[in-house]
Chain A
Amino acid sequence: MANTSRPTPTDVELVASSRAGDHSSFRQLVERHHDRLQATALGMLGPCPEVDEVVQETFIRFYRSIARFEGRSSLPTYLTRITMNEANKAIRRRQRWQSRFFGRGDADPRLPETATAPKPHPLETSERIERVRGAVQRLKPPFREVVVLRFLNECSTDECARILGIPPGTVMSRLTRALEKLSPMLKGENL
């Protein structure tokens, strides 16, 4: 009996049929890449409604420019780059809003003040994750980006470099500095 199951279409095939106006192909692309992009946005912004907005805007921007996508970089790389740009825009909007209402010197009121204080006792997993999340959110965006790409998206150094448009050496140095900055913030966590 002949095998009637069709092979899963590749990203390139789905992009081509989306470009030709096939909505279901684009929908498949959304379903395929959504979770990864949402994790990227979540890592950059922390849990907030802006995460969904960033993911939505990423797909909208991609669809509008789908004719210009030449496939020189892989689709996940291309989409992650858009997500990073959108997340950074959201961070700048948030900073503007904070500086308007809280003044420039004030800390982000949503971040836990205890993030730098050592904890004497072992923490529950969820509490520990919350503290790591707070610490990552305290990193400046250039350092946060590499942490998110390296750990959340499991990108290689070269992939990080391609997504961020910086040399691989800069990725490595930013990662080292990010870990150095995180270390005192997470001191006292029971490992």
Chain B
Amino acid sequence: MNNRDTESVTRLLREWSAAERTACSCGPGAALLQHLEKEMRATQLDREIQRVFPWVAAAALAAAVILAWLNLSTLQDPHSHPLDTLFGLPQPTLEESLSANL
């Protein structure tokens, strides 16, 4: 390919690119902007959920651990009330529990 060919092709490509750039000089259409606006709102909501999710998950996990612990302590001593265990109240003895029930 000689220099003349290169120059010719280059000139044609410049003409083509000028025409394509002119065709693309109208800016974004309303439909695109509207779609992007919706997308931005959806993405922001996702981000909020992702931000809050670890706290919600941590709270749920903590609740699950407390409930499991309460159940466990109730199993160990079926006469004690779970909340007594939780708040450190004195546990009734077996005799006290039996006399209370009688």
Asked if A63 contacts B17 (CB within 8 A), the reply is: no
Instruction: Kindly specify which of A29-37, A100-108, A161-169 makes contact with the partner chain.
Output: A29-37
Q: Count of B residues near A, CB < 8 Å? A: 32
User: In this complex, what residue of B is CB-closest to A23?
Assistant: B40
Residue pair A63, B28 in contact (C-beta under 8 Å): no
Choose among A34, A35, A63, A147 the residue that contacts B39 (Cβ–Cβ < 8 A): A63
Contacts of A42 in B (CB 8 A): 20, 23-24
Q: Quick check: A133 and B16 within 8 Å, CB to CB?
A: yes
What is the interface of chain A mostly: helix, strand, loop, or mixed? Answer: helix
Q: In this assembly, does A59 line the interface, its C-beta being within 8 Å of a C-beta of chain B? A: yes
Task: Name B28's contact: one of A23, A34, A60, A133 (CB within 8 Å).
Answer: A34
Beyond A63-B43, A182-B9, list 16 extra A-B contacts (CB 8 Å).
Answer: A27-B33, A31-B27, A31-B28, A35-B24, A42-B23, A55-B32, A56-B32, A60-B36, A64-B43, A125-B19, A129-B16, A151-B14, A179-B1, A179-B10, A186-B12, A189-B8
CA A186 to CA B1, docked complex, whole Å: 13
Q: Decide if A43 touches B17 in the complex (CB within 8 Å).
A: yes
* A59 → B minimal CB distance (Å): 6
Q: Is A180 a contact of B17 with CB atoms below 8 Å?
A: no
The answer to whether the Cβ of B25 comes within 8 Å of any Cβ in the partner chain is: yes
A10 to B16 alpha-carbon distance, docked (Å): 31
A91 CB, min distance to chain B CBs, angstroms: 17
B37 within 8 A of A: yes
Hey, what's the 0/1 contact readout for A115-138 against B, CB within 8 Å counting as 1? 000000000010011001100100
A10-32 vs B: 1/0 string, CB under 8 Å? 00000000000101001100110
Shortest beta-carbon distance from A61 to chain B in Å: 10
Cβ A191 vs Cβ B39 within 8 A: no
Determine if A39 is an interface residue (Cβ-Cβ < 8 Å): yes
User: Could you tell me the distance in whole angstroms from the C-beta of B16 to the nearest C-beta in chain A?
Assistant: 4
